[in-house]
Amino acid sequence: MRLLLLADTHLPRRARDLPDEVWRAVDDADVVVHAGDWVSLDAWERLSARARRLVGVVGNNDGPELRAVMPEVARAELAGVRLAVVHETGAAKGREERAAAAYPDVDVLVFGHSHIPWDSVAPGGLRLLNPGSPTDRRRQPRCTYATAVAADGALRDVALHELPLRTGRG
């Protein structure tokens, strides 16, 4: 099962649309996971219409329209991988321990908020992944997204993809 991991798209504030490369990744994915800060209901509607399956949550920049259609925490079992998705996990220091205590029954926690890619494993084996942002790199060298494969109860082939720099914000 091919997964596309996104977060912090901030449409249309940080970009008018997702980059073409990300839309191609949506088309290739069996499941798109979005860890919040969509900003507009239109972004959710467009991704929902195009993705085969979408697992998403709201972020701190998402208003009532988005909160009406998505939870703050989403859970899914994907090819035997127990996944949870949230927007915020708090400060980097102590993140693994807090996440492991908060989500003892999952294998992978996907989160966003910081726009900083993250891939670590907590004591006990919980994997934490933040795909960064495909539209707002903030202080990162590039905008990013991630892909992975879920198969036979394991997550493998996790890859962070850097997008080309574009003119203007980005």
133 is a domain residue:
yes
Q: Give the CATH number for residue 70.
A: 3.60.21.10
The yes-or-no verdict on residue 13 having pLDDT over 90 is no
Residues 6+ apart with CB under 8 A from 103: 84, 109, 126
Q: Contact 7/32 with Cβ under 8 angstroms?
A: no
How many structural domains compose the chain? 1
pLDDT at 170: 44
- The answer to the question of residue 98 being in a domain is yes
Sheet holding 54-56, edge to edge: 54-56, 31-34, 2-6, 144-151, 154-162
170 within domain boundaries: no
Residue 167 lies in a domain: no
| Mean of pLDDT values over 121-146 | 96
pLDDT band of residue 167 (cuts 50, 70, 90) is very low
Give the DSSP H/E element, type plus range, for residue 27: helix 20-28
The answer to whether residue 169 sits within a structural domain is no
From the list 106, 163, 105, 152, the residue with the least C-alpha distance to 129 is 106
Examine residue 89 and state whether it is found in any structural domain, yes or no. Answer: yes
Residue 136 within a domain: yes
Q: What is the rounded average pLDDT of the residues 25-33?
A: 98
* Better pLDDT: 37 or 13: 37
Cβ contact 132:115 at 8 Å:
yes
> Is residue 57 a part of any domain in this protein?
yes
Q: Which of 59, 83, 66, 43 is nearest to 8 (CA)?
A: 59
**Rounded Cα gap, residues 146 and 41, in angstroms:** 23
Question: 108 lies in which domain range?
Answer: 2-162
The whole-number average pLDDT for the span 57-71 is 97
